[in-house]
């Protein structure tokens, strides 16, 4: 969230890279949406298009602020995937506008990937390793088919796969995906759950220093928490998770986790209201833009928003790229996920009681980090052992078992408050 993000301005090391990423995305997305709708074919999955941007511009590409190379992978396929997730093309472009540069989360995981938020917090750009990139291309057809058949999938929603390269720089691959967490609501606790206990503990002592840290399986169990869904929501949630995990097992993927953000409705948004403002910065200007996010921020009038949205939509239709300078202030909480089961409650999935009546929490959840193939983990494991590490310190189990263990764990912690209480009483009386 905001607090963790560092705004990227022109002095920032990664400013140029982030700026180029956005410039490239906007160009490619405008370009593909300018084409007439048609069916995707097998070649579309393999297709990739290279572009060269420079200050003067060329017949194909407009002039850009910096010289860089950009590669767009499977644009037709991703256009379809975005449509399957009801992402409006002009909204997408607006969110990823380069005028307001992103905020950077740095590299929270061990993998070394960088994370960037779009300025309105809807999208995340994650740099990925070459192996992950190759793997995503390899499984793209399976992923696409799965998304088509399961619009309510809990898996990360990949909206684009691209590569950027600065002159003399190295090639950096990245994906654009959904931010599971909302811009307009405090997330009071975050968990990253794998269903394993080995090394799955965030030091509780460190929580004071870092109250928004992502906690893990053992922290969850220690707190005796549950994903409090009554029978109806639980059934839907478990069924979708099983379908998603079945795909991951078939593709020999592992090391993924269920990311869970909990918003406590009783605590609401009172805390850290000031922190709610997203750090946005308009390069070239001296002072940061007014905050655009949260109910607190200045919001444009509905009319103003509608007018600018229309203009953008028109410009997409007219087959010309949306000028970079043109932006649209979005209303907070305006969910592009409307109609999606697990995001039905204002972008989240609200707890329910045993009688299916609404509960006290809203969960924001999804299965993330699902581009790690078993063979790669095996390789890393060997490397680790070669460096003197011990096998018991890691837990690379085969994808079948990884998935089964994952499902078992998540099912086991999914129950309404009443049910959890019942089970506790039963245990006590035994
Ligand atoms: P590692 O491989 O070491 O686990 P990674 O670099 O592959 O790390 P992820 O596991 O994908 O990173 O994500 C790291 C953290 O970033 C997550 O625990 C979560 O806090 C945040 N994050 C990742 N994806 C999302 C998302 N789609 N929405 C919101 N937050 C996310
Ligand atoms: Ca991870
Ligand atoms: Ca990873």
* pLDDT tens-digit map of 104-144: 776 666 778 999 998 888 999 999 999 999 999 999 999 99
* Residue 85 domain boundaries: 6-429
Tallying the residues shown for the chain, one arrives at 430
Mean pLDDT of 354-382: 89
Q: What is the pLDDT of residue 270?
A: 64
Q: What is the pLDDT of residue 227?
A: 98
Supply the CATH number for residue 373's domain. Answer: 3.30.800.10
User: How far, in Å, is the centroid of ligand 3 from the Cα of 111?
Assistant: 6
Q: Which residue has the least CA distance to atom 18 on ligand 1?
A: 192
Q: What is the pLDDT of residue 38?
A: 95
- 36 found inside a domain: yes
Pair of tokens at residue 44: 């579309």
Cα–Cα dist 159/210, whole Å:
31
User: How far, in Å, is the centroid of ligand 2 from the Cα of 110?
Assistant: 8
Which residues make beta-bridge pairs with 428? Answer: none
Residue 279 has pLDDT above 50, yes or no: no
Which residues make beta-bridge pairs with 416? Answer: none
Select from 92, 101, 148 the least CA-distant residue to 123.
Answer: 92
More confident residue, 314 or 409: 409
Predicted structure pTM score? 0.83
- 21 found inside a domain: yes
Q: Which residue has the least CA distance to atom 9 on ligand 1?
A: 369
Q: What is the pLDDT of residue 359?
A: 96
What value of ipTM does the predicted structure carry? 0.99
Contact 395, 300 (CB under 8 A): no
> Comparing 73-87, 237-251, 331-345, which segment has the lowest mean pLDDT?
331-345
Select from 220, 236, 418 the least CA-distant residue to 344.
Answer: 236
pLDDT 10s digits, 10-68: 666 678 888 899 999 999 999 999 999 999 999 999 999 999 999 988 888 888 888 99
Specify the ligand 1 atom closest to the Cα of 180.
Answer: 28
Q: Which residue has the least CA distance to atom 4 on ligand 1?
A: 109
- 282 found inside a domain: yes
pLDDT 10s digits, 173-206: 999 999 999 988 999 999 999 999 888 999 999 9
- 54 found inside a domain: yes
- Pocket of ligand 1 contains residue 361 by CB under 6 Å: no
- 1 found inside a domain: no
> Comparing 205-219, 275-289, 346-360, which segment has the lowest mean pLDDT?
275-289
- 214 found inside a domain: yes
Q: What is the pLDDT of residue 184?
A: 86
Q: Which residue has the least CA distance to atom 12 on ligand 1?
A: 109
421 Rama sector, left if φ>0, alpha if ψ -120 to 50, beta otherwise: alpha
Q: Considering its fold, how many domains does the chain have in total? A: 1
Residue 293 has pLDDT above 50, yes or no: no
User: How far, in Å, is the centroid of ligand 1 from the Cα of 219?
Assistant: 17
Specify the ligand 1 atom closest to the Cα of 179.
Answer: 28
Mean pLDDT of 336-360: 90
Query: Among 5, 102, 106, 111, which residue has the most ligand 1 atoms within 8 Å of its CB, making it the best to mutate?
Result: 111
Instruction: Classify burial at 110, counting beta carbons within 10 Å of its beta carbon; exposed 0-12, middle 13-18, buried 19 or more.
Output: exposed
Select from 146, 101, 377, 340 the least CA-distant residue to 236.
Answer: 340
- Pocket of ligand 1 contains residue 111 by CB under 6 Å: yes
Residue 330 has pLDDT above 50, yes or no: no
- 337 found inside a domain: yes
Q: What is the pLDDT of residue 57?
A: 86
Cα–Cα dist 378/249, whole Å:
16
Whole-Å CA distances, 106 to 18, 117, 229, 379 = 12, 10, 34, 26
Cα–Cα dist 135/52, whole Å:
25
Contact 403, 246 (CB under 8 A): yes
More confident residue, 279 or 313: 313
- 286 found inside a domain: yes
More confident residue, 330 or 119: 119
Residues lying with their CB under 5 A of ligand 2, a single-atom ion: 369
**What are the DSSP calls for 179-229, one per residue?**
-SS-SSS---EEEEE-S--TT----GGGGTT-TTPEE-HHHHHHTT--B--
Q: What is the pLDDT of residue 119?
A: 84
């Amino acid at each position: 969230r905001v607090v963790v993000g560092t705004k990227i301005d022109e002095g920032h090391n990664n400013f140029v890279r982030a700026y180029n990423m956005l410039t490239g995305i906007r160009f490619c997305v405008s370009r593909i949406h300018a084409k007439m709708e048609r069916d995707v074919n097998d070649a579309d999955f393999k297709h990739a298009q290279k572009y060269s941007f420079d200050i003067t511009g060329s017949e194909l590409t407009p002039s850009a602020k910096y010289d860089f190379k950009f590669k767009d992978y499977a644009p037709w396929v991703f256009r379809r995937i975005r449509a399957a997730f009801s992402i409006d093309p002009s909204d997408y472009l607006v969110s990823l506008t380069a005028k307001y540069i992103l905020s950077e989360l740095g590299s929270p995981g061990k993998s070394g990937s960088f994370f960037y938020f779009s300025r309105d917090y809807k999208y995340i750009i994650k740099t990925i390793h070459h192996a992950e990139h190759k793997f995503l291309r390899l499984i793209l057809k399976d992923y696409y088919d799965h998304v088509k058949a399961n619009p309510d999938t809990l898996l990360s929603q990949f909206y684009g796969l691209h590569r950027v390269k600065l002159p003399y720089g190295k090639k950096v691959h990245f994906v654009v995906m959904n931010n599971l967490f909302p811009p307009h609501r405090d997330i009071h606790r975050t968990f990253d759950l794998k269903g394993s206990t080995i090394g799955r503990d965030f030091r509780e002592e460190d929580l004071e220093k870092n109250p928004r840290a992502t906690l893990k399986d053992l922290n969850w169990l220690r707190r005796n928490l549950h994903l409090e869904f009554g029978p109806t929501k639980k059934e839907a949630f478990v069924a979708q998770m099983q379908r998603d995990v079945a795909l991951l097992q078939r593709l020999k993927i592992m090391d993924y986790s269920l990311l869970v953000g909990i918003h406590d409705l009783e605590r609401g948004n009172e805390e850290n209201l000031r922190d709610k403002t997203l750090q946005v910065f308009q390069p070239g200007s001296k002072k940061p833009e007014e905050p655009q996010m949260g109910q607190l921020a200045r919001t444009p009038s509905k009319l103003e928003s509608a007018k600018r949205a229309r203009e953008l939509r028109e410009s997409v239709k007219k087959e010309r790229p949306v000028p970079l300078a043109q932006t649209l202030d979005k209303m907070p909480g305006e969910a592009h996920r409307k109609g999606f089961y697990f995001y039905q409650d204002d972008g989240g999935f609200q707890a329910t009681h045993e009688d299916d009546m609404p509960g006290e929490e809203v969960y924001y959840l999804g299965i993330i980090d699902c581009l790690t193939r078993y063979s790669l983990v095996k390789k890393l494991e060997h490397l680790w052992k070669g460096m003197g590490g011990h096998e018991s310190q890691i837990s690379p189990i085969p994808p079948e078992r990884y998935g089964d263990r994952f499902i078992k764990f998540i099912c086991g912690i999914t129950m309404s408050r009443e049910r959890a209480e019942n089970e506790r009483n039963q245990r006590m009386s035994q």
